[in-house]
Structure 1
Amino acid sequence: MKDFKDKVAVITGAANGIGFAVAQECARRGIKIVIADIDGPDLKRAERQLKEEGAEVLAVEMDVMKYEDMEMLAKEALEKFQHVDLLFNNAGVVVAGPAWLLSMNDWEWIMKANVWGVIHGQKVFIPIMLKQDTECHIVNTSSVAGLLSLNGMSAYHTSKFASVGLSESTYLDLQCETDKIKMSVFCPGFIQTDLDNCEKHRPKKYANDMSQPYYQSDLYKKEEQQKHKVIKGGMPIDTIGLTIFEAIEEEKFYILTHSELNPLIGLRVKNVFEGGSPSMTVIKGIK
């Protein structure tokens, strides 16, 4: 896809971070924008800013973890703009900690947001795109954490590896149906976003009992500090929207941001072929 004027984009997790950066790039390209987010106040702020930048915007407060909310998002998008050409399944959360110490609420929350949120987006919007029979593109936001692993992020890696696998297999399925719907999976390294503050969006049903030993431990405090450190010290977000759209123009499937991590991705593949093991020695050299 190279002609974006008057196309319609739906973006989840659009009130902040990568989603908002994508929305701003949409505005620069004359794309009509549907921004969706669970954070109502931030969503209104994003809507105001995009309109000030000259964009035609529809803001929809919704929760990607709820299938009925995704259906509502599609309904409102079609009522407003009649078609959807670009879908950015971008909303996501992060929790840190070893697999055996995280609560079931941690696991269920991150899998529901990071995996089921994408499943819901694809389930609702791909049939719409197939029916339109027009040129479309879907971008699923995963992470370089879906291509290689670090310690202390077991749940996040699990969800992001699932997101990459879901994107790859869905694209293969689409190739059997149509040549008009393209896909990409966005696998950024650490970027300066608000992802490390996603706890404010955790639903009550997934709330942790913070009196439990792990959540009172020095290890938990250390993992939380590391989470904030790597995100706030990440790549500036300024060029991310452009990076994604250049990949869409070139029909790239895998979109990466940190070339310095490519050798580690290659090492993982090498270990798979040779029966090697993940190495803390290597990880300590990059953290």
Structure 2
Amino acid sequence: MRDFKDKVALITGAGNGFGFEIAKECADREMKLVLVDIDKEDLQAAVSFFEKKGVDVTGVECDVTLDLEVEKMVSTAIENYGSIDFLVNNAGVAIPGPVWKLPVQDWDWIVGANLMSQVYAMKRVIPIMIKQDSECHILNVASVAGLITSNGMPAYHATKHASVALTESTSYDLQAINSKIKMSVFCPGFVQTDLHNYERHRPERFMDKSDPYYSSYEYFSGQKRAEFVITTGMPIESIGLSVMNGIEEEQFYILTHPLYNTLIGKRVKEMLEGKGPDLVALRG
């Protein structure tokens, strides 16, 4: 996708982080914006930012873990602009904790945010794009955690691997019908976003904190570890441009951290050799 002027970009998790940075690049390319976020204040601030720059922008407060909310999001985009040309499934959360301790409600939340939100959006947007019969693009935001694994984050790794596989398989299906829709999956390493502050985005239905996990060492140490790796990560300012350059070049896998390439290759090699995870080697 190279022609962006007057096209419509629908971006989830657009109140801050990757979503906001990608939105800035879309605005620079004279696109119309539909910005979506669960946080009302963040969303209003993002919309105000673009309005002051004269961008045609609409904000939609939305919990993308709910299919009916996603339906509202897509309907608003179509009612306001009549088309959707660029879908960015960016919303997501990162919740640490071993599988035997992480509460089921947190599994429901992270699966909803990182995987099902992308399913809900694509199920509704792809038919619209097919009917438009024009050059369109879908970007699913995953993570390098969808290409490699580590300890302490099984829910995050599981959902990000699922996002990568979902994007790959959907790309095959679109090719099978000779669709003009192209796809990409964004797999960044640690970047200075707001991802570690996931608790402030927790939906009301997942607010039960009676489980002992929420007062455990694993819970608090996981939050501290997440804060450290995010706040010491790559500056976010270059991310939007990197993503949009990848879209323009029709890259399927958009990566940010070359240092992980060795780990990705090592994982594939060890899979072919039948080797399993080795914590000592991982930490080595």
Q: 1:269 corresponds to which residue?
A: 268
For 1:173, what is the secondary structure of its paired residue?
A: helix
CA–CA separation in structure 1 for the residues paired with 2:148 and 2:221: 22
Helix, strand or coil at the partner of 1:185: strand
CA distance in 2 between counterparts of 1:182 and 1:246 reads 14
Cα offset, 1:210, TM superposition: 4.6
What is the aligned partner in structure 1 of residue 239 from structure 2?
A: 240
Matches of 1:206 and 1:282, distance apart in 2: 36
Alignment of 1:3-152 (within 5 A): 3-152=3-152
CA–CA separation in structure 2 for the residues paired with 1:211 and 1:9:
40
Cα displacement (A) at 1:211: 5.5
TM-score (norm 1): 0.96
Tell me if structure 1 keeps the 8 A contact 2:36–2:59: yes
Match of 1:281 in 2: 280
In structure 2, relative to structure 1, the CA distance for the partners of 1:127 and 1:179 (3 Å cut) is: closer
Matches of 2:261 and 2:24, distance apart in 1: 28
CA contact (8 A) 1:9 1:87 kept: yes
- Superposed CA deviations along residues 109-140 of structure 1, whole A, max 9, x for unmatched, are 10011111000010010000001111000000
Corresponding residue SS for 1:184: strand
- Rounded to whole Å, the distance in 1 between the matches of 2:54 and 2:5 is 13
CA RMSD between the two structures: 1.1
Q: Name the residue aligned to 2:214.
A: 215
Distance 1:246 1:282 in 2: 35
Mapped to 1, the partners of 2:200 and 2:33 lie a distance apart of 25
Q: Gaps spanning 5+ residues in structure 2: where?
A: none
Are 1:187 and 1:255, in contact at CA under 8 Å, matched by a contact in 2? yes
Distance in 1 (alpha carbons) for counterparts of 2:207 and 2:145: 24
CA distance, structure 2, for counterparts of residue 144 and residue 217 of structure 1: 28
Instruction: Determine what percentage of the aligned residue pairs are the same residue.
Output: 51
Deviation of the 1:278 alpha carbon: 1.7
1:53 Cα deviation from its structure 2 partner? 2.5
Q: Which amino acid is the alignment partner of residue 229 of structure 2?
A: V
User: By how many angstroms is 1:72 displaced?
Assistant: 1.2
Q: Which residue of 2 aligns with 1:167?
A: 167
Give SS of 2:235's match.
coil
How far apart are 1:71 and its partner, in Å?
1.3
TM score, norm. by length of structure 2: 0.97
> Take 1:266 and 1:272, find their aligned partners in 2: how far apart are those partners?
10
Instruction: List, as ranges, runs of 4+ consecutive aligned residues in structure 1 with deviation greater than 6 Å.
Output: none
Structure 1, unmatched stretches of 5+, are none
Q: How many residues were matched structurally?
A: 284
